[in-house]
Amino acid sequence: MDLGLTGRTVIVTGASGGIGREIARGFAAEGADVVLTYHRSQEGAERLAKEIDGRSLVAPYALDDDGSAQGLVETVLEWSGRVDVLVNNAVHWGAAEPEPDLPFEAVSDERWQKMIRANVEGTLRLSRAVVPPMRERGWGRMVHISSSIAVDGMPGGEYYGAAKAALHGFSRSAAFGLGKAGDILSNVVMPGFTRTETNIEMVEQAGGHYSALAPIGRLLDAAEVAGAVVYLGSAANTGITGQAIKVTGGA
């Protein structure tokens, strides 16, 4: 199937590791020009740029920096003159990842507020910044990477789940506003616990539990999640918009 991505410019935030790496690889394999953003791991993003086929740009981006989104879009427009696809994959954990044993009411105000603000405001800020060039061309795709935690829940995931759930409401309404401006679609993808290059230790510890919850009896790997993201962000997707889609192996 021709996904109609050749020559299109795709921004993948958080592309230096985890699922983001495979999303970037997937778009590049379809002939897209891929912008690989990073927050801390510039080395990882530059290494990925050398690994993938095709044209790519490595650029810094920080969810918690108010000016970062506009700066990124300006850099991309100078580089390619267009923004066709945005994949909001970057995540801001705050001080650390969720702590299952810490009651959510014991989390400091600074920590939970930073997580909510960075993840929600940062993602919406970048989404707003890419819309003008999409409206100008009358074509665009936005895919927001959420988490099954947003609908299934997890001890310690209260604030992360809240931040990700906010993307669902935004994307649903944005689909209506954008659809009137042309072929511009917005969707959410919810991965479950996914096998990546960066979570091998976690997979060894907890993979069996999550595999048992899936009808297929195993974890998905990052490339399988990326396949769904690439399709939703492609020209082959002509009618799926405003949806929040689980990619969890059925769990």
pLDDT digits (tens, 9 = 90+) for 112-128: 999 999 999 999 999 99
What pLDDT, on the 0 to 100 scale, is given for residue 94?
Answer: 67
Q: What is the pLDDT of residues 33-44, one digit of tens each?
A: 999 999 988 999
- Indicate the Cα dihedral angle 130, 182, 56, 234, nearest 10°: 130
202, pLDDT greater than 80 = no
In which band, very low, low, confident or very high, does the pLDDT at 200 lie, cut at 50, 70 and 90?
confident
Taking the C-alpha atoms of residue 180 and residue 175, their distance in angstroms, rounded to an integer, is 9
CA distances from 233 to 3, 5, 15, 29, 98 (A): 9, 9, 16, 13, 29
Question: Of 144, 132, 232, which Cα lies nearest the Cα of 182?
Answer: 132
Residue 37 phi/psi, 5° resolution? -95, 155
Residue 98: pLDDT above 70? Answer: no
57 DSSP β-pair partners: 35
Q: What is the pLDDT of residues 137-191, one digit of tens each?
A: 999 999 999 999 999 998 888 999 999 999 999 999 999 999 999 999 999 999 9
The lowest-confidence range among 32-36, 60-64, 97-101, 212-216 is: 97-101
Catalytic residue annotation: 160
Give me the pLDDT at residue 65, please: 95
Q: How confident is the model at residue 62 (pLDDT cuts 50, 70, 90)?
A: very high
What per-residue confidence (pLDDT) applies to 41?
A: 87
pLDDT of 101 over the 80 cut: no
Is the pLDDT at 228 greater than 60? The verdict is yes
